[in-house]
Amino acid sequence: LTLRKTQGDIGFVLNAFYNQVDNYYYQTSTGLFAESSHDHEHEHEESSVEEDEHTDELPVYLFQTDDVILHGFEAQIAWQASDTFKATLFSDYVRARLKDGGDLPRTPPLRFGSQFSYEAARLSAHLDITRYQEQDRVSSDETTTGGYTLVDASVSYDLPVTNQDIAVFLKGSNLTDTEARVHTSFLKDIAPRPGRSISVGVRGSF
């Protein structure tokens, strides 16, 4: 079910969906581990720091099918406040569950945020703030993922160089240096998203 408004200074897109799928194909953890190809014998003295017992093993996943129900929504509202300034609010959510009970693995959590944009003749600037809620609807052998907020910003200035499209830019990602883990990632427990980064550069197209 979709409702759109595209004329005027305020526009929006609202989507709501409900899908019932038979024999949905997905990958799930078995909770088992297989030995890696490296066969080393370790005879270390007992360490004061307890190590993961599966450090040298690989997790085993299984592809399977089940009847599932997927429902949720997507929403975006944009306000063109002036010729140069625009504000956007957005959110999306999906509930993914097995028809016989239980949750599908690696389902994205509720997300919502905002973007503020300034667009002039040569100068453009953007500020993005996105909130990812905690995901605690998980399958067996899957861990929950904490919520986090990401703040990104960028400024770009077009240079009047002949007839080429050249711009200098300053871009900052995860400005609050938040620890953020992506629930849909197989590596989320060992590899979070990058921390704060700032880049300066020149971008051109010929």
190 lies in some domain: yes
Q: What percentage of residues in the chain have a pLDDT greater than 90?
A: 72
- Rg over alpha carbons for the chain, rounded to the nearest Å, is 23
Letter for the amino acid at 186? F
Give the pLDDT band of residue 186 (cuts 50, 70, 90).
confident
What is the token pair recorded at 109? 């959590």
Query: Which of 99, 42, 91, 109 lies closest to 67 in space, CA to CA?
Result: 99
Q: What is the number of structural domains in the chain?
A: 1
Give the pLDDT of residue 37: 62
How many Cβ atoms sit within 10 Å of the Cβ of residue 121?
Answer: 7
- Tokens 């959590």, located at residue: 109
Alpha helices in the chain (DSSP H): none
Produce one character per residue of 5-36: b if its CB has 16 or more CB atoms within 10 Å, e if not.
eeeeeeebeeeeeeeeeeebebebbeeeeeee
What is the model's pTM?
A: 0.83
Backbone angles phi, psi at 108, to 5 degrees: -60, 145
φ and ψ at 157, to 5 degrees?
-130, 125
Separation in Å, CA 79 to CA 76, 170, 171, 195: 10, 25, 24, 31
Residue pLDDT, tens place only, 129-139: 999 999 999 98
In a domain, 168, yes or no: yes
pLDDT at 46: 46
Asked whether residue 55 is assigned to any structural domain, the reply reads no
Which structural domain range is residue 104 located in? 2-26+60-205
Model confidence pLDDT, tens digit, residues 136-170: 999 888 899 999 999 999 999 998 877 778 899 99
Task: Say if 94 falls within a structural domain.
Answer: yes
Residue 43 lies in a domain: no
Q: Is residue 42 one of the residues assigned to a domain?
A: no
**Does residue 41 surpass a pLDDT of 80?**
no
Amino acid (1-letter code) at residue 144 = T
Separation of alpha carbons 81 and 93, rounded Å: 27
Q: What percent of the chain has pLDDT over 70?
A: 90
Which residues neighbour 26 within 8 Å (Cβ) at sequence distance 6 or greater? 63, 64, 65, 66, 68, 104, 105
Does residue 48 belong to any structural domain of this protein?
Answer: no
In a domain, 49, yes or no: no
Alpha-carbon distance values, 37 to 16, 41, 54 (Å) = 47, 13, 14
In what side-by-side order are the strands of the sheet with 148-159? 2-5, 10-35, 57-80, 85-98, 111-119, 123-132, 148-159, 165-173, 197-205
What per-residue confidence (pLDDT) applies to 7?
A: 93
